[in-house]
Amino acid sequence: MQYWLVKSEPFKYSWETFVKEGRTFWDGVRNFQARNNLKAMKVNDLVLFYHSNEGKAVVGIAKVIKEYYPDPTTTDPQWVAVDLAPVQPLAQPVSLEMIKRDSRLANIPLLKQPRLSVMPLTQEEFDTIVALGNA
């Protein structure tokens, strides 16, 4: 199993909307590194859902339910999407400030490459954030 973090601006696509819909396709990625991360995702990989810009916090856990396929929002074949489903919300959001303060998360891509929208996590990073959100 692999672990990931995806970012969405809540005014464009929020955790609440995701839960209400029950699944979504993760599209619109136009960065090659983020695209490669989408291509590496496998069914049942776990994904942290991060609200960017507003909130700046991890708010829930999702899982990959369909591996990459051509992004339906473009005719350019180099871009892909994956399907995600919500698993559970965190009991409390894990803010960017909380992540910055935790030494176990010092090397997380969210801090090293803050503009990257789809990023891998280690199991330890994933578990640490989940523990912070369920404390």
What's the pLDDT at 135? 86
Q: What is the rounded CA–CA span in Å between residue 95 and residue 29?
A: 23
Q: How far is C-alpha 79 from the chain's CA centre?
A: 17
In CATH terms, 3-133 corresponds, of 3.30.70.3040, 3.30.930.10, 3.40.190.10, 3.10.590.10, to 3.10.590.10
pLDDT band at 84, cuts 50/70/90? very high
What's the pLDDT at 9? 94
Mean pLDDT of the chain: 97
What global pTM score does this model have? 0.96
Q: How would you label 67-96 residue by residue, b for 16+ Cβ within 10 Å and e otherwise?
A: ebeebeeeeeeebbbbbbbbeebbeebbbb
Identify whether the C-beta of residue 58 lies closer than 8 Å to the C-beta of residue 48: yes
Q: How far is C-alpha 123 from the chain's CA centre?
A: 14
Give the pLDDT confidence of 3-17 residue by residue, as tens digits.
999 999 999 999 999
Q: How would you label 102-124 residue by residue, b for 16+ Cβ within 10 Å and e otherwise?
A: beebeebbbeeeeebbbbbbeee
What's the pLDDT at 86? 98
- The answer, yes or no, to whether residue 131 has pLDDT greater than 90, is yes
Q: What is the rounded CA–CA span in Å between residue 41 and residue 83?
A: 10
Q: Where are the alpha helices (DSSP H) in 31-122?
A: 32-40, 96-101, 109-112
What's the pLDDT at 71? 96
What's the pLDDT at 25? 95
Give the pLDDT confidence of 22-77 residue by residue, as tens digits.
999 999 899 999 999 999 999 999 999 999 998 999 999 999 999 999 999 999 99
Q: What is the rounded CA–CA span in Å between residue 57 and residue 88?
A: 15
57-70 β-sheet, strand order: 24-26, 80-95, 57-70, 46-51, 3-8, 118-121
